[in-house]
Amino acid sequence: MAVAWPPPRFVAAFAAAELGVASAVAVASSLVLQKISKICMSLTAAQLRDLSGAIADRIYIQIAGWHLYLGDAKLAQPLAEELAGFLNQGAAAAVRSALERLQVPVAGGSSRFPLARLIPPGQLMDLEEILEPFCSDTGKTPLATDACN
């Protein structure tokens, strides 16, 4: 994972110290917009909600034979956001990348595991199936109008 340099906190602190509060707010706003543009690279807010909803109802983590659906675990939205950043790689690669990047806190946050280690193999195919319409060759997703406008 690439680390941005300079770190955003450093940039904001420098802007506040050197440029004044108004400029610091402008720099911080710019950093937030950059983060949002990465998430919103190819999905509208409605599409992101649809993807999150589909994930919430169909995909689960399995622990000791118990199924905990990602919607109940509050992981559907973060996973949808991760997936949105990898849509240009295709469904299978997007699923692998997003599941490895999304870290799930366990034991009160004392440990973290990649979501990929908690989802059964059969669920990976289901997730790819959910994601496939959002990765179409035409660049248009099921509800696409003009993404991120």
| Structure confidence by residue, pLDDT tens digits, 87-130 | 988 999 999 999 999 999 998 989 999 999 999 999 999 999 99
The HSE-up count of residue 123 (CA atoms within 13 Å, CB side) is 20
Q: Which long-range contacts does 15-24 make (Cβ < 8 Å, 24+ apart)?
A: none
Q: Enumerate the H helices of the chain as residue ranges.
A: 8-19, 21-39, 45-58, 76-84, 91-101, 121-131
Please state whether the predicted TM-score (pTM) of the whole model is above 0.85.
no
| Structure confidence by residue, pLDDT tens digits, 54-73 | 999 999 999 898 999 999 99
